[in-house]
Structure 1
Amino acid sequence: MMNRQISYRGFEIHVQLTEVAPDMYSVTFQITGHNVGRLSTDGAIVTVQHGPFTMRWAYLVAEIAGQAAIDVLIGPEA
């Protein structure tokens, strides 16, 4: 498994890749920070659909999905 942590607007997006075939990965992400944690619904581990992906695409798709989820939680930037 490969992990990456990305900071965005005061939150952390935790991305985890799991190799499912040679050079192909399934990917999950979790948002933490502020009042969001592992035990809250908002901090749930989310599986990115329509994979598997190459490593670069897996990280990109998870980062964009995590950023979109944070934007929904706290609203658009001013």
Structure 2
Amino acid sequence: MHRTIDYRGFEIYVELTPAAEDTFNVSFQIKGGTNLEVLGARGGRIALRNGPFTERWAYLVAEIAGQAAIDLLLGPVD
């Protein structure tokens, strides 16, 4: 299962893989934007820890983690 979230000129790609009945492992990847050199070789897929999660929690946790990573790279929103 996949979802794409637009945030501050970037796209956060979220991928869920089944772990057990009604639970998922989740990973995300940041792509796009005008500051691709900021991501460099580290723009790969990141697996989130402390799972598996329910579907709803998996998407929420990945979205928040992706947004936090972008905020860290670009600084606060003015």
TM-score (norm 2): 0.90
User: Which segments of 5 or more consecutive residues in structure 2 lack a partner in the other structure?
Assistant: none
Q: Which residue of 2 aligns with 1:56?
A: 56
Which stretches in structure 1 are left out of the alignment for 5+ residues? Answer: none
Letter in 1 for 2:77: E
Alpha-carbon distance, 1:36 to partner: 2.8
Q: Percent identity, please.
A: 59
Paired with 1:3 and 1:40, the residues of 2 have a C-alpha distance of: 23
Quote the residue 1:3 is aligned against.
Answer: 2
Structure 1 segment 1-78 matched on structure 2, within 5 A: 2-33=1-32, 34-36=34-36, 40-78=40-78
RMSD: 1.6
- Is this contact kept in 2: 1:31–1:42, CA < 8 A? no
- Separation of aligned partners in 2, 1:44 and 1:75: 20
Encode CA deviations 1:27-49: one digit per residue, 9 max, x unaligned: 00000112438x93331110010
Letter in 2 for 1:54: T
Query: Structure 1 length as normaliser, TM-score?
Result: 0.90
Whole-angstrom CA distance in 1 between matches of 2:5 and 2:52: 21
Matched residues, number: 76
